[in-house]
Amino acid sequence: MAGVLFAATLVSIYTTGAQEVKELPGERDSGEIRADVITIDTLAFFGDLERPEVVFFHDLHTDALEKKDKDCLACHLSENDRLSLKFKRLKDTSRQEVMDIYHADCMACHKEMSGAGERTGPIEICGECHRDKAKAMSARQPMGFDKSLHFRHSEATKDKEPDKDRCELCHHEYDEKTKKLFYAKEREGSCRYCHMEETEEKRISMRLASHLSCIDCHRKTLAKNEAKALAKNKIAGPVKCSGCHDLNKQKMIKKVKDVPRIRRKQPDAVLIRANGQETEKQRLATKMNPVPLDHKAHEEYNDTCRVCHHASLDSCSKRCHTVAGTKQGEDVKLERAMHQIGTNKSCLGCHESNQREKRCAGCHAFMEKGRKQGTDTCLKCHMESLQVSTEVEQKPEALASMLLESRRAITDTYKDKDIPEKVIIGELFYEYEPVQFPHRKIIDSLVEKIKDDKLANYFHGEKGTICQACHHNSPVAKKPPRCVSCHGKPFDEKNLLRPGLKAAYHQQCMGCHKEMGIEKPKPTGCTDCHKVAGTSRLYD
């Protein structure tokens, strides 16, 4: 019984009228910071509150119930073998009745514990529960469901039939005609596609749905394992608030390293087209080459399909992001959905976020974001059509695969003979001796860091692309112009956005070290790189 008793009333989170967890009022230093803080404002459902909402520590009550060999039924009624998320009731009937339920049952429990000499909550004074200032702040973290957790849950359902997935246990749709839930095989999607933040007609909120289904399943799994003497192995998910919503507990959740691909008859490759055009004539009308997407690879890169498919698993342009924009897609047009930077919800935005990783940031941190790159850059994604048969043209997935296979990745740079081993930087020789810059060593290091990065290898379209980290405004070449060709001594007062030579060197070199987290060498003063000038007059 102990396993079940451990599962106390997490679901009482929904005793509130709005049925949501709220940010607590009061100052941040007014008390504890907990993941199980719940505000009870049930009576707000019937109108304005006469007293402040009640702060309730759920896990604190869970632990107290467990010590008394009581379980969730101590606070929650059961209907159709599933606990009600409301406290001591199935429905909200009237203001007075709901208020009486809380006052009678909560205080009765407190009085019973007080009579037994046990530490308990308030008994008579209203202000001890209805406080003007918060006695704690909520540290509740949203709980996500990534592909690792999905795989673990999928495996856990195979006890009776090891070779069969039991997707119908979680995934369902609503039939408007029969007014019932049903399982739609191979149309499974995220719960969040139907269950929104707030409860709507015929659809409960995501929080309600997850607590009804997830906690109920965890409780029953604990009970079943208890009967099999397996409870000590903790083969079940959390039933306490902190188990899901405490940041430290979230970090302790076991991650499956190599998660098998989720099978839903999704394609390996996708051809992205404006308006879903299928013919060459329609493509020419939109002046947009199709974009082949390695769908299978992108599944591996991300923890959840919702990274790209925010509202459904349909194509982006089917319902939301059309060329003209739709209300359902919040008027975000297809072009913006794919190209907007500064967000991880677009293709270019996601690529840009990858550029902020240390191995890439040394170069990309100083590049202008979203600048016009020219036709060649566009053609990296919007590939020119191949000469293929009519049969292949009618099969977008086949054409996408062919286009992807035709891509050319760059995994190296010029040969050593074309890369100077050292470069002598001597423009500032009047103050310091020239700096011996380990040119080839740095290039080799940059190439090594990204050699296994498919994104970099594909978008670095030429062997000299990596050289443009420093030689940023010149064409790709084995012998690019020197820095002094653009950055003058002193700076150009007619072009204030172009730093002078001294500033350019320091910004590029020291900035790269900082962005890439390079500790050694880590210049802290001038003489870490420059020796004080003597009689030397070397310069390049």
- Are residues 444 and 338 located together in one domain of the fold? no
DSSP helix/strand/coil, 370:
coil
User: Are residues 395 and 438 part of one domain?
Assistant: no
Does the pTM of the predicted model rise above 0.75? yes
Residue 217 lies in a domain: no
Do residues 339 and 346 lie in contact, with contact meaning Cβ atoms separated by under 8 Å? yes
Q: Do residues 481 and 361 share a domain?
A: no
* Statement to judge: residues 434 and 504 lie in one domain: yes
Residue carrying the six token digits 């596609």: 193
Residues 6+ apart with CB under 8 A from 267: 295, 397, 400
Residue 253 lies in a domain: no
Contact 304, 344 (CB under 8 A): no
Tokens describing residue 539: 């310069």
Task: Judge whether 502 lies within some domain.
Answer: yes
Return the pLDDT at 88. Answer: 93
Are 305 and 364 in a shared domain?
yes
Structure tokens belonging to residue 226: 């208890």
Kind of pairing between the strands at 32-34 and 136-138: parallel
Whether residue 394 sits in one domain with residue 432: no
478 and 464 Cβ atoms separated by less than 8 Å: yes
Q: In the listed set 110, 138, 166, which residue is the last one of a domain according to the structure?
A: 138
Residues 382 and 454 reside in one and the same domain? no
Tens-binned pLDDT, residue by residue, of the chain (540 aa):
333 333 333 333 333 333 333 444 433 344 688 999 988 988 998 999 989 999 899 999 999 998 888 888 899 998 888 888 899 999 998 999 999 999 999 999 999 999 999 988 888 788 888 988 877 888 999 998 899 999 999 988 886 666 677 899 999 999 989 989 999 998 899 999 999 988 888 789 998 899 989 988 998 888 887 766 654 555 788 989 999 999 999 999 999 989 999 888 899 999 988 765 555 555 555 567 889 999 999 999 999 999 999 999 988 888 889 888 898 889 999 999 999 988 888 999 999 999 999 999 989 988 766 545 555 778 889 988 776 655 556 688 988 999 999 988 888 999 999 999 999 887 766 677 888 889 999 999 999 999 999 999 999 988 999 998 888 888 889 999 988 888 888 878 888 888 888 888 888 888 899 899 887 766 667 777 887 765 444 443
Do residues 375 and 498 share a domain? no
Q: In which domain, by residue range, is 378 found?
A: 269-404
Instruction: Count the neighbouring beta carbons within 10 Å of the beta carbon of residue 203.
Output: 14
Q: Rounded to an integer, what distance in angstroms lies between the CA atom of residue 354 and that of residue 365? A: 11
528: left (phi over 0), alpha (psi -120 to 50) or beta: alpha
- CATH number of domain containing 126: 3.90.10.10
The answer to whether position 252 is within a domain reads: no
The DSSP annotation for 251-273 comes to HTS---SSPPPPPSS--SEEEE-
Question: Do both 420 and 522 map to the same domain?
Answer: yes
Position 208 in a domain = no
The confidence score (pLDDT) of residue 32 equals 80
- In a domain? residue 349: yes
Q: What is the DSSP string of 381-405?
A: HSPPPP---HHHHT-HHHHHHHHHH
* Same domain for 499 and 380: no
* Domain stops at, among 138, 171, 194: 138
**Does 394 fall in a domain?**
yes
The residue out of 99, 115, 138 marking a domain boundary is 138
* 263 within a domain of the structure (yes/no): no
Sign, CA dihedral 328-330-332-337, equals negative
Residues 449, 385 share a domain: no
383 and 432 co-located in one domain: no
Q: Which pLDDT score is estimated for 99?
A: 93
Number of folded domains that form the chain: 3
pLDDT value, residue 531: 77
Nearest to 269 by CA among 289, 251, 238, 291: 291
The DSSP bridge partners found for residue 437 are 423
